[in-house]
């Protein structure tokens, strides 16, 4: 019997890595059919579900996931944040308009992640704000802004 998308999403938190990997592979094969349930799963409390859903959305590449992925930049779990950053970067320039406002986020982790993402996406429109963030209170944000400016200016 074939598992439903919801059952496969629940398998993302299984303690057996093989079960998780199989669920990721099967969800990737579902493609567009799985996108909405996966976006919904990004709001789950379980970090493994969020990480797995993000990995599948990265593989599928559906841009509808971008706003929900941006919300994960503020997640408590470092691995969730990292996976969201990677996926947003892979989504390409369509992610820029959603990530750009996060340079003003009150959370330093979100501001820093936004810097790194925008640098990787060569977001020239971010340069004025990135210049300001060179003076941010957080050294993580400062480093991200410096790196982003260098990448964008091809230094």
Tens digit of each residue's pLDDT (9 = 90 or more) over 28-60: 999 999 999 999 999 999 999 999 999 999 999
Structure tokens at 32: 């567009």
Q: Taking a C-beta distance cutoff of 8 angstroms, is the pair 99, 112 a contact? A: no
pLDDT tens, 64-91?
999 999 999 999 999 999 999 999 999 9
The predicted structure's pLDDT at residue 9: 95
pTM of the model: 0.93
Give the span between the Cα atoms of 64 and 52, in whole angstroms. 17
pLDDT at position 125 over 80: yes
The predicted structure's pLDDT at residue 148: 97
How confident is the prediction for the chain on average, in pLDDT?
96
The predicted structure's pLDDT at residue 20: 95
Q: What is the DSSP letter of 76?
A: S
């Amino acid at each position: 019997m074939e598992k439903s998308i919801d059952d496969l999403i629940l398998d993302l938190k299984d303690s057996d890595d093989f079960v998780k990997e199989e669920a990721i592979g099967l969800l990737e094969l579902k493609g567009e059919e799985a996108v909405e349930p996966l976006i919904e799963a990004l709001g789950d409390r379980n970090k493994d579900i969020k990480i797995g859903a993000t990995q599948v959305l990265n593989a599928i590449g559906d841009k509808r996931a971008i706003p929900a992925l941006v919300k994960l930049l503020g997640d408590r779990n470092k691995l969730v944040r990292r996976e969201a950053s990677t996926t947003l970067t892979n989504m390409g320039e369509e992610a820029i308009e959603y990530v750009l406002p996060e340079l003003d986020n009150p959370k330093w982790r979100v501001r820093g992640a936004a810097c790194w993402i925008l640098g990787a996406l060569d977001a020239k429109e971010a340069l004025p704000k990135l210049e300001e963030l060179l003076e941010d209170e957080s050294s993580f944000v400062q480093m991200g802004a410096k790196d982003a400016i260098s990448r964008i200016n091809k230094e």
